Amino acid sequence: MSDRTPADQFFDAAIGLLQRVRDEEADAVTAAGALLADTVAAGGRLFAFGAGHSSLAAQDVVYRAGGLALMNLLAVPGAVGVDVMPATLGSALERVDGLAAAVLDSAPIRAGDALVIVSLSGRNALPVEMAMNARALGIKVIGVTSVAYATRTSSRHTSGTYLKDHCDVVLDSKIAVGDAELTLDTVPAPFAPASTVVTSALMQAVMATAAGALADRGIEPPLLRSGNVDGGHDWNARVFDQYADRIFYRR
């Protein structure tokens, strides 16, 4: 009998997935970071969107110490899933046709900007239409998704396509369909999801790549510092003032 606990097994699974995305998605991470750096250098703005638990990875790069100050959250009320009652309404909203167009029409995003769309399955109408409509508006799209879903599930969009089909760069999280890493004979369902760990790591790898790419071009990356270190608030105030026309979460 193995003495490896479920916690040990989960950490091993998460570490294995992180190693896979580090090795197998290196070119895509570089391309995504370069796309964001290009956008910043050209005067564009950066946005991130995710629905359901995918929103966690999007939120993680917005107003973040050590992160790019220009990354704004493209918010869809109710789509986070846990900000409405019942929580299942959030899942239902992901399947509503036309919602993405309404969101983009009312958001400050415009041609020349970049949008990172996070969707584990990439099969629902909201992320698919978000990517399709954004590109039609002249916005560059980076998709963070599990490509496996496109071969193991059916699309819920009328086009029959997935998020991965409408992106300038695709980052594959390698998460298995179902997003549960562990099974036990004594537990009736698979458990222990790792998508948030892996997707957030991919997002931060892209942000780090973008910052490095900007520095390589002689452009100071617009980074935020922690407000809990001396001088942090003064530093951030300078960044907020310098990029006031490209930061929307302060308004």
Predicted local confidence at residue 193, as pLDDT: 97
Distance CA 217, CA 231 (A): 26
pTM of the model: 0.95
Across 92-114, average pLDDT: 90
Task: Enter the tokens of residue 150.
Answer: 């496109």
Beta strands in the chain (DSSP E): 46-50, 71-73, 114-118, 140-145, 169-172
The candidate with the shortest Cα–Cα distance to 155, out of 164, 142, 143, is 164
Distance CA 65, CA 224 (A): 5
Distance CA 158, CA 215 (A): 43
pLDDT digits (tens, 9 = 90+) for 107-157: 999 999 999 999 999 999 999 999 999 999 999 999 999 999 999 999 999
Distance CA 194, CA 175 (A): 7
The phi and psi torsions of 135 (rounded to 5 degrees) equal: -65, -35
Task: Enter the tokens of residue 4.
Answer: 């490896």
Whether omega before 6 lies within 30 degrees of 0, making that bond cis, reads no
Predicted local confidence at residue 134, as pLDDT: 97
